Structures are given as structure tokens and as C-alpha cells.
């Protein structure tokens, strides 16, 4: 079992590094093609940073482990808004921007409710996957157009996405990054998914529990690090937008693409025991956001306790 845990960690590291290389190469090639840095950030960078979750979900679905796929996405969303946001707020109160209230939260809640409605039949079909991708494209276009009209919002998005300044020195370097990144994602996902299954067998637990806990926590680590850094820099409004943006992308992109490739079966356990907590946590943060436009340390502590209680109910 110790070997499985070590290989799972190695797989996660390779996945994250592979995703970073993929983003560098693809972003540089896009900049060479004179595509707007903002568009690059909202598409390639956003997609690349979620590449580990996407590859894990695709591989799990294709290998007949839909509970790993759904557990990874739903668990990551719960982790983002309870654990990550909770820890961030406890480090320093999180400021809430107008856009987070008017755009990010409604989109996060809307995507979550839509997912809940669609999976009640026990399946995410190819057509529903196409619907998710269509909504994501429309949302991205809306954000780009809106940000172009608002200089302040544009600067905030550029800082949040950590956009590349320019293309690299040679096209061969970009291609090398793409190749290394793709290889890293492939072998990292092989290690991660394979050993996650072995861990479930060795511990005698379901793949849903591994997806909700181990996979979700592992793939949320980049968001946790980003949020903590933003909190320490007193840029917590960016941290909140990034977390909700990640949740939107998890549902619309990861489940959208995965279900187009392979329809996803959804168990009653995930529907009843995991989807409702995800909706509840998303709903709970709204009054916190509205109260003085700040999520306080006490509210951060409440979110952290909610995450710990939820995790306890999953593994107990």
C-alpha cells in the first residue's frame, strides 16, 4: 500500500509539471499567431491548468471507473470552496469584488444546479457534454468582451491568469514543451489513476471515496497554493474569483469533454451524498460574500469545519 501511495504522489507531480509544460508551449505558439494574451489566458492557460483533472477524468471514464471521474470533479469543487477558501480566509479576510457577486457566483451556482438536474437520470450523455461546452464557450466570449470594455477588470484578469508576456525564442522550443507536457500528462495519469484504484482495493473502500478525497485533494493543490500566495499578497479578491472559475471549468469543461468522449454513468450515492453538499457549500458562501463584501476569518473557520465534517461523513 505504501508503494501505491508513493507512486500516486509521483504521478500527481508528473501531471502538474506536464500541465505546466503544455501551457508554456501552447501559450507561446498562440502568441506567435498574434492571438490576444487575454484570450490565450482564458482558453489555453485555463485549459492547461485543468489538464491533470481532465486527463484523470478521461482515463477513469474510459477504464470503466465513472465514480473516479465524478468524485474527482465534485470533490475538487467542494475542496475549492470549503477547504481552500476556508484556509485562505483564515490567513486573511477575503475581499469580494462586484464581479464575483454578479458573475462568478451565479455562474458557479448555475453550473452546479444544471449538473444536478442533468445527472438525476443517472447519466451524462454526449449531448449534455456538448451543452456544457457550448455554455463554456459563451461564458468565455462574454468575459473577453466585458473585460475589453473595462480596463480595470482587464488588468485584474491578466494578473489572475498570470499571462505570458511573449513567445519563446524558437518554435522548436515550443514544440518541445508541448511534447514533454503531453508525455508527462500521459504517464502521470497512468500512475495516478492506476495506483488510486490499487489504493481503493487495498483499503477496502469504493472508488467514489478515493475520487472524493485523494484525487480531489491532490488535484486541488495548485488552487490551494495559488490562493495562499494571493492571500499573503493581500490579493484575496483574485483568489476568490480563481476558485469559482476553477469550479465552473471543472463542470463545463472536464465533464463536458469527458462525456463527449465517453458517456458518464452517475451512481445514486454520488447524486445523494456528494452533489447536495456541493450545492449546499456553494449556496452557503453567498451570504458570507454579501456580508460586508468580505469573507472573514471566522467564516473561513466555518468553511473549514464544513469540509472536515463532510470528509468525515465520506470516510466514516
Do 60 and 254 meet the contact criterion of CB atoms below 8 Å apart? no
CA distance 120 to 111: 15
| Number of domains observed in the structure of the chain | 1
Nearest Cα to 274, choosing from 308, 310, 243, 309? 310
Q: Give pTM, 2 decimals.
A: 0.81
Nearest Cα to 62, choosing from 210, 261, 256, 209? 261
Does residue 35 sit in helix, strand or coil?
coil
Tell me how far the alpha carbon of residue 197 is from its chain's centroid.
21
Environment class of 213 (CB within 10 Å of its CB; exposed 0-12, middle 13-18, buried 19+): middle
The torsion region of residue 311 among left (phi > 0), alpha (psi -120 to 50) and beta comes to: alpha
- pLDDT of the chain, 316 residues: tens digit per residue: 778 778 878 887 887 787 778 767 776 776 676 665 555 555 565 566 667 778 878 888 888 888 889 998 999 899 999 999 999 999 889 888 888 898 889 999 999 999 999 999 999 999 999 999 999 999 988 877 776 665 555 555 555 555 555 556 677 887 888 788 878 877 877 787 778 777 777 878 888 888 888 888 877 777 777 677 777 777 666 678 778 888 998 999 999 999 999 999 999 999 989 999 999 999 999 999 998 899 999 999 999 999 999 999 998 7
Largest interatomic CA distance in the chain: 55
CA distance 265 to 278: 19
CA distance 84 to 234: 16
Nearest Cα to 18, choosing from 187, 151, 162? 187
Domain span at residue 25 reads 2-315
DSSP collapsed to 3 states, 102-128: HHHHHHHHHHHHHHHHHHCCCEECHHH
Residue 174's CATH number: 1.20.1420.30
Amino acid at each position: 500500500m505504501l508503494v501505491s501511495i508513493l507512486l500516486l504522489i509521483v504521478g500527481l507531480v508528473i501531471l502538474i509539471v506536464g500541465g505546466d509544460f503544455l501551457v508554456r508551449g501552447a501559450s507561446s505558439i498562440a502568441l506567435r499567431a498574434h492571438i490576444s494574451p487575454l484570450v490565450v489566458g482564458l482558453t489555453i492557460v485555463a485549459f492547461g491548468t485543468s489538464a491533470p483533472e481532465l486527463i484523470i477524468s478521461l482515463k477513469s471514464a474510459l477504464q470503466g471507473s465513472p465514480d473516479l471521474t465524478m468524485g474527482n470533479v465534485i470533490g475538487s469543487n467542494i475542496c475549492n470552496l470549503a477547504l481552500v477558501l476556508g484556509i485562505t480566509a483564515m490567513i486573511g479576510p477575503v475581499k469580494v469584488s462586484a464581479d464575483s457577486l454578479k458573475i462568478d457566483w451565479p455562474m458557479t451556482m448555475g453550473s452546479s444546479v444544471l449538473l444536478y438536474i442533468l445527472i438525476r437520470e443517472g447519466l451524462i450523455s454526449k449531448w449534455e457534454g456538448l451543452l456544457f461546452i457550448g455554455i463554456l464557450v459563451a461564458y468565455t466570449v462574454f468575459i473577453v468582451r466585458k473585460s475589453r470594455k473595462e480596463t480595470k477588470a482587464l488588468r485584474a484578469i491578466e494578473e489572475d491568469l498570470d499571462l505570458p508576456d511573449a513567445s519563446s525564442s524558437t518554435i522548436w522550443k515550443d514544440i518541445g514543451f508541448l511534447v514533454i507536457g503531453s508525455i508527462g500528462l500521459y504517464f502521470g495519469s497512468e500512475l495516478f489513476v492506476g495506483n488510486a484504484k490499487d489504493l481503493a482495493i487495498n483499503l477496502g473502500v469504493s472508488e467514489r471515496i478515493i475520487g472524493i478525497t485523494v484525487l480531489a485533494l491532490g488535484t486541488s493543490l495548485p488552487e490551494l497554493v495559488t490562493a495562499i500566495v494571493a492571500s499573503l499578497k493581500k490579493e484575496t479578491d483574485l483568489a476568490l474569483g480563481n476558485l469559482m472559475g476553477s469550479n465552473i471549468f471543472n463542470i463545463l469543461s472536464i465533464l463536458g469533454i469527458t462525456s463527449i468522449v465517453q458517456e458518464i454513468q452517475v451512481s445514486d450515492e454520488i447524486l445523494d451524498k456528494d452533489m447536495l453538499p456541493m450545492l449546499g457549500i456553494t449556496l452557503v458562501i453567498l451570504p458570507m460574500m454579501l456580508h460586508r463584501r468580505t469573507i472573514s476569518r471566522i467564516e473561513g473557520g466555518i468553511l473549514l469545519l464544513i469540509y472536515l465534517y463532510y470528509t468525515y461523513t465520506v470516510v466514516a
